[in-house]
Structure 1
Amino acid sequence: MPYYRSVGHVPQKRHTQHRAADGRLYFEELMGEEGFSSDSSLLYHRSIPSAISEYRAWELPDLSTVANHPLVPIHLSTHKLFDESVTGVDAVTGRRLLLGNADVRLSYVVADSTSPYYRNAIGDECLYIEAGEAVVETVFGDLEVGEGDYVIIPRATTHRIVPKGRVRIYAIEANSHITPPKRYLSRFGQLLEHAPYCERDLRGPEEPRMVDGVDVEVYIKHRGPGPGGLAGTIHVLPDHPFDVVGWDGCLYPYVFNIADYMPITGKVHQPPPAHQVFEGNNFVICNFVPRKVDYHPLSIPVPYYHSNVDSDEVMFYCGGDYEARKGSGIGQGSISLHPGGHPHGPQPGAYERSIGAEFFDELAVMVDTFRPLELGEGARATDDGVYAYSWVRGDHAETGSTDG
């Protein structure tokens, strides 16, 4: 994180005695990245945070993937993955894997039940709230989240997700950290003037969350022998992990709402890096928000056809009407995968229709990866099978209708 926060009660000097009113010592925990060489926070616990009374394996949901072969662009319909009449789904164990590689996994879930306490020991998570509201309870404190929120949860942060009704979540799980793009930051970590958002837009925990409890189960996703090199373990803790009386530092979960993103526009069409919001190792996250578009008198506002030769491109369409995809069958909750090796761009007619447009009312979250993505079980279940033909005009279409 680019700036320091202090929440609750912490001692004046770090690594010194911090005691309760009755004289008991609190237990200091350093949560830090890159082996004490990057951002960290110090948390002060009432109980020893290392204590485990039991442990057992957690059988993860299906995380197997298959290659996108033969290589084709794909359209997925996430809203078909979950039956609205089904209840009892939580936002951790209920995720269905759409796409993944060695750097990132993209999942989707519609949850109505409280998740187990959870810790991702592999990498940071970015949860995009497509619809609904929830409380993300964390060892640092609570985060109230709702539609359009990105929730950044650092690696190994113990938390659980408590929906308020039904909540739709697009989960981006990294095998690394997720941060603002380096070009947005000063060498000291402050968001710069040309960045499309600033520290005022970020919401962090305001108060510690202290809970009493014993024999608390924490589900841990970690490196192991399962599909994708992943495994799961459940630790039973003798005391509740939410026993932190105070913490301070530059590492903590936070929320950023997509409506606070200030789009960068230009006289002619701006490339995707102008829309970037976060980055991880070997992938970036961009968002396309409602905005004024190009103002050159001969401009074509939709994207030019492009071969992003080093990347796979994944678009999650979550609001408005995405101009370049009209006529392809893509709608709310759709995901398109445009793999490296395939030149892609506007659907037939969109290129011409966009001329003269002054404003686009569209909302989409994009993930570009620098290693090929494979298909998870969620993608295999919702691939429409015809999107690859959607650029073919009229009688040349091999499958007839391309309405998806």
Structure 2
Amino acid sequence: DVIISVAAVSENMDYCYRNGTVDEVLYIQSGEGKFISNFGNLHVKSGDYIVIPRGVIWQINPTDTVRMLVIESAGPVETPNRYRNRFGQLLEHSPFCERDIQLPELQNPITNKNECLVKVKTQKGIQEYTYSHHPCDVIGWDGYYFPWSISIHDFEPIVGSIHQPPPVHQTFQANGFVICSFVPRLFDFHPGAIPAPYPHSNIDSDEIIYYSKGEFMSRQGIQEESITLHPMGLPHGPQPGKYQSSIGKKHTDELAVMIDTFKPLHVTEAALGIDEANYPLSWMD
């Protein structure tokens, strides 16, 4: 259903890329640049989610190194059902709206006659094509199939007097998983509320959290771009001392992306090679 990885782009791509097997979501952790596609260009900046349907031809040209979380989905990536009416419009209680969505803008004509290499990802690997012209040299397009972006900074958090369940953070849905955004927000404001979330065991999903920026109320020793995996069925929650230290606090400045998958994730050898072996011991006093 999903492949999760990280990437860094430090120089202009000298080829175009087309994923023929999955839809993609790029969460831009840091850096800035230009996302160029055969539908037009998007400005790339920290905090952006770029949603790329399969088959779109694209490349990224950074002005400085662009670091990103990459999510590849076997099915279409959509806005959550709970926030749409029967016509597909986002409802008034949605944490974002259509005005927050950025669409690609057509660029000036590409006048050079240079050939262009296009790398296409298939089920069997990468296949290369050489175009006699640049595939992004287009004058227009029509329809409802295109790349688009939305900033995590435009996600308006839903808060309450007591702890709100994780679905209030949902930003996208896809076959077999959801993507949620944790953003700066007010803590629970009931006089007896403890802001730190209670321990829990996800019995229906594996939980991935990508820590983007800020101070993380429930964890300590977490750095930017840290990734945690809590498999379904294993209890987890705030570390010792975090309950007490959260009492009286009014807001959090954390920024993180959570991915809940409804089937168990398989960890790659590369990821196991950088595993923090002592992480499970962080709940011990």
Q: Which amino acid aligns with 2:229?
A: L
Q: Verify the 8 A CA contact 1:283 1:369 in the aligned structure 2.
A: yes
Structure of greater Rg: 1
Distance 2:243 2:126 in 1: 47
Aligned match of 1:362? 254
Distance 1:157 1:300 in 2: 46
Q: Verify the 8 A CA contact 2:106 2:139 in the aligned structure 1.
A: no
Q: Which amino acid aligns with 2:23?
A: D
2:272 pairs, out of 370, 380, 388, with 380
Write the mapping of 1:282-321 to structure 2, written as runs, cut at 5 A.
282-321=176-215
Aligned match of 1:109? 7
Q: Report SS of the residue matched to 1:160.
A: strand
Aligned match of 1:7? none
Q: Verify the 8 A CA contact 1:209 1:242 in the aligned structure 2.
A: no
Measured after TM superposition, the shift of residue 383 of structure 1 is 0.8
Write the mapping of 1:64-213 to structure 2, written as runs, cut at 5 A.
103-115=1-13, 116-208=15-107, 210-212=109-111, 213=113
Q: Report SS of the residue matched to 1:240.
A: coil
Write the mapping of 1:209-220 to structure 2, written as runs, cut at 5 A.
210-212=109-111, 213-220=113-120
Gaps of 5+ in 1: 1-102, 225-230, 394-404
Q: Report SS of the residue matched to 1:351.
A: helix
Gaps of 5+ in 2: none
Gap change, CA 1:186 and 1:210, over 3 Å in 2: farther
Q: Which amino acid aligns with 1:336?
A: T
Measured after TM superposition, the shift of residue 210 of structure 1 is 3.7
Q: Deviations over 1:313-359 (max 9, x none)?
A: 00011111111112xx2221111101112011111111221122210
Distance 1:121 1:372 in 2: 24
Distance 2:130 2:269 in 1: 30
Distance 1:378 1:162 in 2: 27
Distance 2:75 2:242 in 1: 37
Distance 1:208 1:139 in 2: 10
Q: Verify the 8 A CA contact 1:120 1:156 in the aligned structure 2.
A: yes
Q: Which amino acid aligns with 1:265?
A: V
Aligned match of 1:91? none
Q: Which amino acid aligns with 1:194?
A: H
Q: Verify the 8 A CA contact 2:206 2:263 in the aligned structure 1.
A: yes
Q: Report SS of the residue matched to 2:159.
A: coil
Say which is worse superposed, 240-249 or 196-205, in terms of deviation.
240-249
Aligned match of 1:49? none
Q: Report SS of the residue matched to 2:244.
A: helix
Distance 1:168 1:239 in 2: 29
- TM-score by length of structure 1 reads 0.68
Q: Report SS of the residue matched to 1:218.
A: strand
Q: Verify the 8 A CA contact 1:139 1:208 in the aligned structure 2.
A: no
Distance 2:269 2:64 in 1: 26
Q: Deviations over 1:217-249 (max 9, x none)?
A: 11111223xxxxxx2211122332123211122
Q: Which amino acid aligns with 1:266?
A: G
Q: Which amino acid aligns with 1:112?
A: S
Write the mapping of 1:344-363 to structure 2, written as runs, cut at 5 A.
344-363=236-255
Count residues with an aligned counterpart: 283
Measured after TM superposition, the shift of residue 214 of structure 1 is 4.5
Q: Which amino acid aligns with 1:135?
A: K
Gap change, CA 1:345 and 1:242, over 3 Å in 2: same
Distance 2:128 2:277 in 1: 38
Percent identity between the aligned chains?
Answer: 47
Q: Report SS of the residue matched to 1:152.
A: strand
Distance 2:108 2:21 in 1: 24
Distance 2:110 2:270 in 1: 36
Higher relative contact order (CA 8 A, sep 6+): 1
Measured after TM superposition, the shift of residue 122 of structure 1 is 1.3
- TM-score by length of structure 2 reads 0.96
